[in-house]
């Protein structure tokens, strides 16, 4: 069986990839990555991921979002609805090109990974809004909260860094494989905090999930790829 993996959440427009993005993507292809969902953290990255999708058609797929926390240090602040209004025309302009909306969410502490402190509120809000399909990336909530998301039809993805966290193993064991996708969240959340993460490291996530669930990496690869194609139908094109 051919190796076909989908990185459902990576930040190709990050400054860390500016100098060697071509090499990074080539390594990803050699690893077996079939498609990458390139997620933005702010409107300044929108055009960059659109350009990458044009340079690598059928491989890089843009996903527009505004990180719920903007700025840094004393200027760090939560995004409000009015902060989004100036950028809505860009969403409209590229609506036929993007595969999803994200990075979005609730961030209740300035130092958490999304949903670590807001998992229950996030899932409850999504259910109230009637959202049927969504990917909660790098999910770090309680297994009981995750199962509420599973019952609502949501999916969850995990980057390489989770392989260092036993609490996350308990979570992965409980979530059905049919609700799991793969991600790297690169350039962050690799095995080493001081080494740039890349989409090619998606195999680490795949192999770890296989180990935790005591199944073969091939099964994880096949099922998570199908999950991603179902969640992001435009990847099929």
* Both tokens assigned to 58: 């059928």
What is the distance between the alpha carbons of residues 212 and 21, in angstroms, rounded to a whole number? 32
Q: Are 142 and 121 in contact (CB under 8 A)?
A: no
Is residue 110 scored above 70 in pLDDT? no
pLDDT at 73: 75
What is the distance between the alpha carbons of residues 170 and 151, in angstroms, rounded to a whole number? 18
What's the topology of domain 5-236?
TIM Barrel (3.20.20)
**Mean local confidence (pLDDT), 197-203:** 98
φ, ψ (nearest 5 deg) of residue 98: -85, 150
Distance of CA 200 to the CA centre of its chain: 14
Is residue 131 scored above 80 in pLDDT? yes
What is the distance between the alpha carbons of residues 131 and 45, in angstroms, rounded to a whole number? 26
Alpha helices by DSSP H, listed for 129-165, are 143-151
The tens digit of pLDDT for each residue in 114-124 reads: 455 788 998 99
The tens digit of pLDDT for each residue in 155-188 reads: 999 999 999 988 899 999 999 999 999 999 999 9
Q: What is the mean pLDDT of the chain?
A: 92
Residue of 85, 114, 112 whose CA lies nearest to 183:
114
Is residue 39 scored above 80 in pLDDT? yes
**Mean local confidence (pLDDT), 138-145:** 93
Cβ count within 10 A of residue 109: 10
pLDDT at 68: 82
* Both tokens assigned to 126: 């999504």
pLDDT at 115: 52
Q: How confident is the model at residue 102 (pLDDT cuts 50, 70, 90)?
A: confident
Q: Are 24 and 53 in contact (CB under 8 A)?
A: no
Is residue 237 scored above 70 in pLDDT? no
φ, ψ (nearest 5 deg) of residue 108: -85, -10
- Residue with the larger pLDDT of the pair 109 and 118: 118
**Mean local confidence (pLDDT), 93-116:** 75
**Mean local confidence (pLDDT), 37-52:** 95
Is residue 111 scored above 90 in pLDDT? no
Q: What is the CA radius of gyration of the chain?
A: 17
- Domain boundary assignment for the chain: 5-236
In order of 3, 8, 35, 54, 76, the CA distances from 203 in angstroms are 10, 13, 13, 26, 34
* Both tokens assigned to 181: 């996708």
Is residue 113 scored above 50 in pLDDT? no
**Mean local confidence (pLDDT), 106-121:** 65
């Amino acid at each position: 069986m051919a190796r076909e993996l989908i990185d459902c959440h990576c930040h190709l427009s990050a400054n860390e990839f500016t100098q060697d993005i071509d090499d990074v993507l080539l390594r990803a292809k050699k690893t077996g990555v079939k498609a990458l969902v390139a997620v933005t953290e702010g409107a300044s990255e929108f055009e960059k991921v659109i350009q990458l999708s044009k340079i690598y058609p059928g491989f890089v797929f843009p996903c527009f979002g505004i990180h719920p926390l903007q700025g840094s240090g004393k200027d760090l602040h939560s995004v409000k609805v009015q902060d989004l209004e100036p950028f809505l025309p860009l969403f409209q302009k590229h609506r036929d090109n993007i595969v999803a909306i994200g990075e979005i969410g609730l961030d209740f502490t300035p130092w958490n990974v999304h949903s670590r402190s807001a998992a229950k509120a996030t899932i409850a809000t999504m259910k109230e809004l009637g959202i049927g399909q969504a990917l909660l990336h790098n999910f770090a909530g309680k297994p009981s909260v995750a199962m509420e998301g599973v019952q609502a039809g949501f999916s969850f993805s995990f980057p390489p860094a989770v392989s260092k966290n036993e609490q996350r193993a308990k979570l992965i064991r409980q979530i059905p494989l049919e609700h799991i996708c793969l991600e790297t969240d690169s350039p962050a959340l690799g095995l080493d905090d001081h080494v740039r993460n890349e989409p090619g490291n998606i195999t680490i996530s795949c192999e770890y999930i296989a180990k935790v669930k005591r199944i073969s990496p091939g099964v994880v690869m096949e099922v998570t790829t199908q999950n991603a194609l179902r969640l992001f139908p435009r990847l099929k094109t």
